Amino acid sequence: MKTKVKRKQYVLGYMMAAPFYLIFLFVYLIPILETVWNGFTDKKIFETPNFIGLTNYIRILQDTYFIKSIQNTLFYVVFNLFGVMVIGLSLALLVNSKMVKTGVFRVAYFIPYIASMVSISIIWIWMFDPTKGFVNYLLGMVGVEGKRWLEDPKWALPAIIVMGIWKGVGYNMLVNLAGLQGVPDMYYEAATVDGANRWQLFWNITFPLITPTTFFLFITGMINSFNMFEQVNIMTGGGPMNATTTIVHQIYTRAFLKYQMGYASAESVLLMLFIGFFIFLSFRFGKQGNDLGM
């Protein structure tokens, strides 16, 4: 009797969980497996694919545009991640202090994060306009010559990084703020009694204790940075001279402009392996810290 009741409960439990797993299966797992398979075929968008083994992967090794996109993506990941994390933490420390009105600043810095990337990209196209843009206007006010930001291969990617940092810093600030507010005051009080200055308080107490938060932001920020696409597609189209093309932009170009789905699938698999590799390194060598169990 008890077994029957338990079995009924199990069945009900699995049925409750079934919708999530079915969605996961059909929306994530099966498409991922299909993409991995397509990477070994010459699939075009509307044609029956033929198995071609590793041909796509060998071709990718000779694809100068894809190699360039890897370089651009890594450059973006490093500088964007560094920027949002450092500035995000700095803003969180500022907002956490009694110097500023927390509510107003939190909203002000978070608004760019919740705005759509498409609208933000269009606004920044105007901001970076060489003749009428706000950025060159500000530079002109301090006597610095403006640049042709999105039209200059040297400056196009840094310009996109600046925009990416501006947009993402609010989220980092908010998450860091939550982490900061979880640090017990007693540590600061004890350290202050021992004569620690502000820098020592930050370096020896605050920073170590918010490591779980920092690690979380690092991992999610890295994944998001590797997947950067919208702003490149709208602001530069991957140019000038492929100076801003990223891995996802290359995948998009191959799949939806040239209809080479098999090749694009192979590129997607490589992207997945890149991200997986860097996440593995992060977990292997990074300090994840411990949650404060208080």
Partner 1 sequence: MKKRLYSMIVTALVATMMCGCGAQKPNQEPTASQKETETVEQRSTEKAGSGKEEVTFWIRGAETDAICKALQADIDTYNASESGLGHVTIEYVPISDFATKFNTAFAGGTAPDMVDTGVDQISIRAHMGHYLALDDYLDSWESKGEIINGYLLAGKMLDDGKTYGLGYAPTPCVYVWRKDFFEEAGLDPELPPGDWAEMFEFAKKLVVKEGDTVVRGGFSLEPADYRLYTLMARQAGSTLYNPQTNMPELANEAGIRALQYFEDIQPYSIVYNPAPGAKTLRSFLTSESAMAYITTEELSSMLSSDPSLKDKIGVSAYVPAVNGVDSTWCGYRLFAINADSKVKDAAWDAIRYLMTEDSNRNRLENANVSPAWNTLLEEYQEVNPQVNEPAAKAISVGEPFPKTDWMASYGEAIRNAQQEVLYGEKTAEDAMKAAEKMIIMDAELK
Binding stretches for partner 1 (CB under 8 A): 8, 12, 15-16, 18-19, 22-23, 26, 42, 44-48, 59, 62-63, 65, 118, 121-122, 125-126, 150-151, 153, 233-237, 239-242, 253, 256-260, 262-263
- Residue 237: CB minimum distance to partner 1, A: 4
Which residue lies nearer to partner 1 by CB, 92 or 264? 264
Residues sharing a CB contact under 8 Å with residue 266, sequence separation 6 or more, in sequence order? 38, 39, 40, 56, 57, 60
Which residue lies nearer to partner 1 by CB, 1 or 16? 16
Which residue lies nearer to partner 1 by CB, 76 or 124? 124
- Residue 165: CB minimum distance to partner 1, A: 19
Q: Which long-range contacts (CB under 8 A, 24 or more apart) does 180-183 make?
A: 180/92, 180/93, 180/96, 180/206, 180/210, 181/96, 182/209, 182/210, 182/292, 183/209, 183/210, 183/292
- Residue 30: CB minimum distance to partner 1, A: 10
Which residue lies nearer to partner 1 by CB, 101 or 258? 258
- Residue 63: CB minimum distance to partner 1, A: 8
Which residue lies nearer to partner 1 by CB, 196 or 234? 234
C-alpha span between 148 and 136 (Å, rounded): 9
Nearest to 176 by CA among 102, 85, 113: 85
Half-sphere exposure at residue 265, Cβ-oriented, CA atoms within 13 angstroms: 24
